[in-house]
Amino acid sequence: MSEVRLTQFSHGAGCGCKIAPAVLDKILASDFTAAGFTNLLVGNESKDDAAVYELNNGTCLISTTDFFMPIVDDAFTFGKIAAANAISDVYAMGGNPLMALAILGWPVDKLPTELAQRVLDGAREICGQANIPLAGGHSIDSPEPIFGLAVTGSVQKENLKKNNTAQPGDLLYLTKPLGVGIITTAQKRGLAEGDDIHEAIRIMTELNVLGAEFGKLKDVHALTDVTGFGLLGHLIEVCEGSRLSAQLNYSEIPLLSNLKAYVAKFIYPDNTMRNWQGYEPKVKGIGSESLLTLCDPQTSGGLLVCVDSRYQQEFEGCYNAKGLKRIGKMLPPSPGYVVEVL
């Protein structure tokens, strides 16, 4: 059982399994957000990280789901990564998770059921770190292994953070380095160094608990997490939702150790180019390296935070020690581009 490589049983990996942005736009062309539900504060209209429903006492329920195929070979680690990734959507709304339900698809004729148990064990460990129960779930017999969570969370209405409320002049911060898509692709091809794989796994299994703290900060204007559409795609969502443009300082963007060595060998996930096909008309200043890193689909990536520039010194004083990096700023809308890479 220890010799089974889960990634060999799936055609995609992690959030790189996401449907390409251009294709997804066509699928979502019909508005399926029910009109008339005035308590639904966040639906599908802003492409945000989770749905949010206001209760009568000022508390809001956060509801989200996320699942994908294996991004690593070890079943326990796969469960941890999938759980951390799903729970992140609650933190990205400024909230705290309450409980989770498992979503499991398993090829029972191809893979031992003991491995599925290990996936669930990994998810339970992460749920324990988030102080929530893995309270149940649903499973099916599927051609490929699939795992994720449906997560319920809560947030006070005044602490709710959205991805479409950035303001001109806001400074952009990122809480995790980029590059897990590239490293895990190298691993699947047998080209990744052990230390680089371990660093990527550490990043992917780290909970984005800072989001709950950011929710309480009035000078944090907008918040989202960086997943399958890469930093560039999720920043474009922030820009278009807020009707602004953005400027990225590429030299300031944190990357995983040794990432440039893999980029130099043109190792990247297929979805990198699918992402870029949806972004190209909206981006100015992209280079050969920055295209591969900024469009790299992240799994359980960091938080992208939009902060009032007047709060810069205090914000950085509190959070720089926790790995947060300032990477750019929001600007008034530009007629020629959505995001400029310097």
34-66 tens-digit pLDDT: 567 888 887 777 676 788 999 978 899 999 999
Confidence of residue 31 (pLDDT cuts 50, 70, 90): low
Average pLDDT estimate for 164-179: 96
Q: Where in the chain do CATH 3.30.1330.10 domains reside? A: 6-159
Half-sphere exposure of 132 (CA within 13 A, CB side): 27
Strands 40-42 and 171-174: unpaired
For residue 20, name the pLDDT band (cuts at 50, 70, 90).
low
Q: Per-residue pLDDT for 266 more than 60?
A: yes
What does the mean pLDDT of the chain come to? Answer: 90
Is residue 15 over pLDDT 50?
no
Convert the pLDDT of each residue in 81-116 to its tens digit: 999 999 999 999 999 999 999 999 999 998 999 999
**Percent of the chain's residues with pLDDT above 90:** 72
- pLDDT score, position 28: 58
Lowest mean pLDDT among 9-23, 271-285, 318-332: 9-23
The span from the CA of 104 to the CA of 159, in Å, is 32
Band (pLDDT 50/70/90 cuts) for residue 1 is: very low
Tokens encoding 76? 């326990």
**Range(s) within the chain of domains with CATH label 3.90.650.10:** 171-341
> Residue 88 and residue 66: Cα distance in Å, rounded?
10
Q: How far is the C-alpha of 234 from the C-alpha of 55, rounded, in Å?
A: 28
Question: Longest Cα pair distance anywhere in the chain, in angstroms?
Answer: 59
Angle formed by the axes of helices 270-279 and 230-242, to 10°? 30
Put simply, whether the predicted model's pTM sits higher than 0.85 gets the answer yes
Q: 76 Cβ partners below 8 Å, 6+ apart?
A: 118, 119, 121, 122, 125
Q: For the domain covering 6-159, report its CATH number.
A: 3.30.1330.10
Residue 176, token pair as written in the block: 């995790």
CA 27/CA 32 separation, integer angstroms: 11
- What is the pLDDT at residue 39? 85
Whether 60 sits among the annotated catalytic residues: the reply is: no
> Looking at 15, 60, 239, 306, which residue is catalytic?
15
Task: Please tell me the predicted confidence (pLDDT) of residue 38.
Answer: 83
- Residue spans of alpha helices (H) in the chain: 21-27, 75-91, 113-129, 180-188, 194-204, 210-214, 230-242, 259-264, 270-279, 288-294, 312-319
Confidence of residue 6 (pLDDT cuts 50, 70, 90): confident
Backbone angles phi, psi at 262, to 5 degrees: -75, -40
> What percentage of residues in the chain have a pLDDT greater than 70?
91
| CB atoms inside a 10 Å sphere around CB 342 | 12
Sheet bearing 339-341, strands edge to edge: 220-225, 303-307, 171-174, 325-331, 245-248, 339-341, 283-284
Of residues 16 and 145, the one with the higher pLDDT is: 145
Residue keyed to tokens 């508005």: 31
Nearest alpha-carbon partner for 111 in 83, 142, 82, 81: 142
Q: What was the pLDDT predicted at 132?
A: 97
What would the mean pLDDT of 327-331 be, rounded to a whole number?
A: 97
pLDDT, mean of residues 242-262: 95
Please determine, looking at this structure, whether the domain spanning 171-341 carries the CATH number 3.40.50.1360: no
Q: Pseudo-torsion of CA 284, 285, 288, 293, nearest 10°?
A: -70
Residue found under tokens 């990996």: 13
Average pLDDT over residues 182-210: 93
What is the Rg, in whole angstroms, of the alpha carbon atoms belonging to the chain?
19
CA angle 30, 35, 41 (to 5 degrees): 105
Count of CB atoms situated within 10 Å of the CB of 320: 12
